[in-house]
Structure formats: structure tokens, C-alpha cells
Amino acid sequence: MSHKTFILGLETSCDDTSAAVVLNGRTVLSNVVSSQDNFHLRFGGVVPEIASRRHLEIINPVIDEALSKAGITFRDLDGIAVSYGPGLAGSLLIGVSTAKALSFALELPLAAVNHLEGHIYANFLTGATISFPLLCLVVSGGHTSLLYMKGHGQIEILGRTRDDAAGEVFDKIARALGLGFPGGPVIDKLAQQGEAAAFSFPRALMGEEGKLDFSFSGVKTAVLNCIRRETEKGGQVRPADLAAAFQEAVVEALVEKSLMAIRQKREAGQFLLAGGVAANGELRRKFRQKLESKNIELIYPPVELCTDNGAMIASAGYYYLRQGRRASWDLNAVPNLELERV
């Protein structure tokens, strides 16, 4: 690959249509994200059929915008990267088909990026020097995983959620409180005016030293029951207090398990946060506070690179291609793709 390597990254795994151009895996030249929130809002969650149709309608204009914002044309590109799973089948297919068509027509190498792994690479776009081995907590709407990364493509899964993902629970609680979708950003904001000590919710699996799995279904049920009970009593519950207490329970579980991972993997010099929930203000604050005195550097992406975006896929794709991890044109979308264990 030439000295200046331009990768086009496509991301359509859920309800955001995104295309981005990244230079040498590290510099975002453009990152266009077209959110579908307005289309799904009244259903209180993502409707797969609507998501897929909408991706199809706008993927081409989104790519055109990404190229023009980057000041380049199709001819300047050195590779195409696409997230091919996990995600919604119909949504993934739009990105995968588009990427394959571009790769074929432009005779460019194709990188098939695992969406979860893609989230990690948002940290490569922060300007920070990333060095292995490192630890990473990926917290999104679909995943909550603690990972140990020894190098590109060398990922060990230390722990994962046994039930709901953290983001999913934020969305469900927001829905029960009538706060709209997606729930994470609304709860984050509301919680700032709340009193976390007003309620006490369970921190699941906290006692199991050494066990790095998460569980959020317990806290979810406790919060939902609490909302029901308080509403039956005549609606005295302050949503801000509830949001703060719920958020604290989730954040504490994430921080505690991360600290356990740090104790287990002392060789790791950096701790990365990734995924939509990593945009959470309280989560960032707690991690900063708890890791300050530890011998490990905390890195997290800016808010707009925490949630789904094409730039992180382009960055991951750059490193995939540098390692010769090229996908062939028979690539298919894999809705329940797992992270490969090494």
C-alpha cells in the first residue's frame, strides 16, 4: 500500500447509516453518520425492516458526502472496509453488498470487519499512541465484553454479559420511563439532576472475585419493578433519581469488573473504553477517578466515535489489510458473528 492510504469504511449493522474516509488508519478525513432515530422513535426501538430499507435509500448519498467532505474521489481510495456482523441481517446486507460492489468495480481490497472489533478501533482515532498489550471494555447496545488484546487480530475474551447488554438495559429503562429512544443519552442527561442514593439497585455478580462476566437482567428487573410499584402508589418517583441510581448500579459493575481485569492482566499498559455506552458521562468520570492511581493509561474516544460510525470500521479495515486479512467477494453478512478467540 502507498504511503498515504485512504480507506472507505461502511457501517450499517443497526440503525445508523455511516460512511467515512480515514487516512492511514488514524486520521478521520470525514465521518458521515445518518441517524434513523426519527424513523424508529414511535416504535420505542429499532424496527429491522424499516432500518434495512432506509439504509438502502441513503447509503449512496452518504458515501458521496463522505468522499466529498474528505476532498477525494473513488479513484483515490486504497481499500473498502465494511462491518459484516454482528448486527441485523437486513441492515448488514446493505453495507456488505455495497462494499462488495465497490471493491469489485474499483478493483480495491475488501476488509470484512467484526463490528465489535471495529468499536475498539475508535480509540486509534483519538491521536493517542495505542500500544499492546491492552485491555478494552466494549459496552454497546448489543455487547458488554471485557477484552485483552495482544496485537491486531489477537483478542482474548475475558468476560461478557450473561444476559442483557448494558446499552440494551439503558434503552429498556428509558422506554419504561417514557423517555424515548435511544435511552442512553437521555438517562445520562437526566441522571445529572438526580440523587443516586435515593434507591439502591443490585450490582450483579460483584462478589465473584476473578469472574469477569456481567449480568444486567437483575438490575433491569429491579428498576422496572420499582417504576411499577411507585406508579401504583401514585407516581411519587422522581425519574431523575431513578435514572441516577440505575446508572450508578450499571457503571459500578462495569468499573469493578474492569478493575478485576486490570489486576489479572498486569502486563496491559492501557485501558480502552469503546461502544455507545462509553459515551456516558458518569462512566467516563468513574473510570477516570478509579484508574487515576493505577499504573494504566485510560483512553476513550470522543462521544461521536463511541456510537456506531464508519470511521472506526475504516480504521480497523486499514489494520486488517496491512496484515493481509482480505475478504473475498463471496463475503456474506453474519448477524450473530462472534469475536474470534485467539
Chain residues in the site for ligand KG4 (CB under 6 A): 14, 140-142, 167-168, 170-171, 182-185, 188, 275-277, 279-280, 307-308
Between residue 288 and residue 317, which ones bind Zn ion under the rule CB under 5 A? Answer: 308
**57 touches 65 (CB < 8 A):** no
Q: Which of 158, 90, 88, 147 lies closest to 121 in space, CA to CA?
A: 147
**Residue 127, all three cell numbers:** 491521536
**Residue 6, all three cell numbers:** 485512504
36 binds Zn ion (CB under 5 A): no
Report the nearest approach of Zn ion to the CB of residue 40 (Å).
15
> Quick one: 70 or 278, whose CB is closer to Zn ion?
278
**Residue 225, all three cell numbers:** 419493578
Select from 103-111, 139-147, 217-225, 289-297 the region that touches Zn ion (CB under 5 A).
139-147
Give me the 88-127 binding string for Zn ion, x by CB under 5 A, dash otherwise: ----------------------------------------
The amino acid occupying position 241 is: D
Report the nearest approach of Zn ion to the CB of residue 323 (Å).
22
Whole-angstrom Cα distance, residue 308 to residue 13? 8
Report the nearest approach of ligand KG4 to the CB of residue 177 (Å).
13
Residue 210 DSSP code: T
> Look-up: residue for cell 424513523?
39
> Quick one: 109 or 276, whose CB is closer to Zn ion?
276
Select from 65-73, 138-146, 160-168, 309-317 the region that touches Zn ion (CB under 5 A).
138-146
Whole-angstrom Cα distance, residue 22 to residue 7? 5
Report the nearest approach of ligand KG4 to the CB of residue 313 (Å).
12
Report the nearest approach of Zn ion to the CB of residue 142 (Å).
7
CB burial of 243-280 (b: ≥16 within 10 Å; e: otherwise) equals: bbbbbbbbbbbbbbbbbbbbeebeebebbbbbbbbbbb
Residues paired with residue 214 on neighbouring β-strands, in sequence order = 161
Residue 183 binds: one of ligand KG4, Zn ion, none (C-beta under 5 to 8 A by kind): ligand KG4
